[in-house]
């Protein structure tokens, strides 16, 4: 008998669309209402497995990765949608920073204003930068950086999107780092228009930066670009995160002089996901989406050493991703 998880469609907003039941003579003919995803409350109930067997995972946090010229990496960035910084910290999410020891760590969906941050949210040894949404408990991004940047820009210069705390840009001597939490098209695509307004404005922001210095952009981009980037492409073409509009927006970004660093390195790698709904044990079965990216200026291809998906690291419905680069002076 075929399991439910094989026939269900997992939606990007965490809901699950169940298969249509057989029509009964007394039925109204309506499809069942999609169930809401059960969010992890951080109680440690054991709903998530300790480890996922996935070849893209690396729990040693050590790497001998080199760039195309054979030079070993010397610069590390981590990106993670933490699905609420307070809950994430209760699950010891900051331990990842200690284990990875990145030069820069970017987190998304903090859901917390800076004045309400929990104690310890600004780790020692790092400069901390937060951009929260005007609406408490919504969106928000943050960056931890060992090296103080030359400048910091909050937002992309658009009031509507910036009020939601969606992007921070840090300028270093030879490059920019941008983190973003891209708008979700929403259940039944109710906010697809907002997403379509974001894409060209964000692309212009990146293009303007790239004209000055190379760009490293990371975050939860809320799109699975290719069919290989989600477990059930056939059933999700009309769902948030996999519509032709969202995928075309990402294609436009790549056409403008940027690369998807993971697919550049691993063009044929399957079952490489960064997000799993909490419903129906999806993470243990690796029924997920690749929504989290490191996008680089084309001119940084020669500096790229590796992009690692830390799929065994728990603490959110997303896992962290790690970028290794061979960079010059920061």
Which pLDDT tens digit goes with each residue over 12-67?
Answer: 544 445 444 444 433 333 333 333 333 333 333 334 433 333 334 445 789 999 99
41 is in an annotated binding site: no
CA within 13 Å, CB half, 6: 3
Query: Is there a domain that residue 4 lies in?
Result: no
Distance CA(21)–CA(320), nearest Å, equals 37
- Give me the pLDDT at residue 40, please: 32
Query: Is there a domain that residue 100 lies in?
Result: yes
109 is in an annotated binding site: yes
**Residue 122's CATH number:** 3.60.10.10
Distance CA(132)–CA(179), nearest Å, equals 13
- Give me the pLDDT at residue 239, please: 97
Query: Is there a domain that residue 91 lies in?
Result: yes
Task: Mark whether 41 is an active-site residue.
Answer: no
Query: Is there a domain that residue 181 lies in?
Result: yes
pLDDT: which is higher, 114 or 297: 297
Distance CA(325)–CA(241), nearest Å, equals 28
In the predicted structure, residue 210 carries a pLDDT above the cut 70: yes
114 is in an annotated binding site: no
Task: Mark whether 193 is an active-site residue.
Answer: no
pLDDT: which is higher, 205 or 33: 205
In the predicted structure, residue 293 carries a pLDDT above the cut 80: yes
In the predicted structure, residue 69 carries a pLDDT above the cut 60: yes
161 is in an annotated binding site: no
Query: Is there a domain that residue 18 lies in?
Result: no
Residue 9: φ, ψ to 5°: -115, 120
224-279: per-residue pLDDT in tens?
999 999 999 999 999 999 999 999 999 999 999 999 999 999 999 999 999 999 99
Query: Is there a domain that residue 135 lies in?
Result: yes
- Residue 218's alpha-carbon distances to 8, 80, 120, 178, 260, in angstroms, are 30, 9, 24, 6, 10
- Give me the pLDDT at residue 238, please: 95
Query: Is there a domain that residue 137 lies in?
Result: yes
Contact 222, 245 (CB under 8 A): no
The structural domain count of the chain equals 1
318 is in an annotated binding site: yes
Q: Of 144, 181, 262, 278, which residue is the catalytic one?
A: 181
Identify the weakest region by mean pLDDT among 10-24, 59-73, 84-98, 309-323.
10-24
Q: Of 40, 199, 210, 220, which residue is the catalytic one?
A: 220
Can you give the pTM of this predicted structure? 0.84
Query: Is there a domain that residue 127 lies in?
Result: yes
148-201: per-residue pLDDT in tens?
999 999 999 999 999 999 999 999 999 999 999 999 999 999 999 999 999 999
Mean pLDDT, range 72-86, rounded to an integer: 97
| Domain of 147, in residue numbers | 75-325
222 is in an annotated binding site: yes
Task: Mark whether 318 is an active-site residue.
Answer: yes
Mean pLDDT, range 137-152, rounded to an integer: 97
Identify the weakest region by mean pLDDT among 49-53, 292-296, 308-312, 322-326.
49-53
- Residue 24's alpha-carbon distances to 29, 30, 31, 32, in angstroms, are 8, 11, 12, 13
Distance CA(191)–CA(172), nearest Å, equals 34
């Amino acid at each position: 008998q075929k399991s439910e998880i094989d026939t269900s469609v997992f939606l990007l907003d965490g809901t699950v669309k169940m298969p249509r039941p057989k029509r009964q003579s007394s039925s109204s003919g309506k499809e069942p209402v999609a169930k809401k995803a059960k969010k992890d409350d951080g109680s440690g109930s054991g709903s998530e497995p300790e480890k996922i067997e996935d070849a893209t995972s690396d729990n040693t946090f050590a790497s001998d990765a080199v760039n195309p010229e054979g030079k070993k990496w010397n610069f590390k960035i981590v990106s993670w949608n933490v699905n609420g910084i307070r809950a994430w910290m209760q699950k010891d999410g900051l331990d990842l920073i200690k284990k990875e020891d990145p030069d820069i760590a970017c987190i998304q969906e903090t859901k917390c204003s800076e004045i309400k941050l929990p104690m310890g949210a600004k780790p020692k040894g790092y400069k901390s930068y937060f951009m929260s949404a005007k609406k408490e408990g919504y969106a928000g991004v943050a960056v931890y950086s060992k090296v103080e940047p030359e400048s910091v820009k909050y937002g992309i210069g658009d009031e509507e999107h910036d009020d939601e705390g969606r992007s921070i840009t840090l300028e270093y001597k030879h490059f920019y780092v941008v983190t973003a939490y891209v708008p979700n098209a929403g259940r039944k695509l109710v906010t697809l228009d907002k997403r379509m307004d974001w894409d060209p404005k964000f692309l212009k922001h990146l293009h303007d930066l790239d004209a000055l210095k190379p760009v490293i952009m990371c975050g939860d981009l809320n799109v699975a670009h290719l069919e290989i980037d989600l477990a059930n492409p056939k059933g999700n073409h009309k769902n948030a995160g996999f519509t032709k509009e969202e995928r075309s927006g990402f294609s436009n970004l790549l056409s403008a002089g940027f690369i998807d660093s993971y697919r550049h390195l691993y063009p044929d790698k399957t079952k490489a996901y960064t997000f799993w709904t909490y419903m129906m044990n999806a993470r243990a079965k690796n029924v997920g989406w690749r929504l989290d990216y490191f996008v680089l200026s084309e001119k940084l291809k020669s500096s790229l050493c590796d992009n690692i998906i830390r799929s065994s690291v728990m603490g959110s419905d997303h896992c962290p991703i790690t970028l290794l680069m061979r960079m010059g002076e920061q």
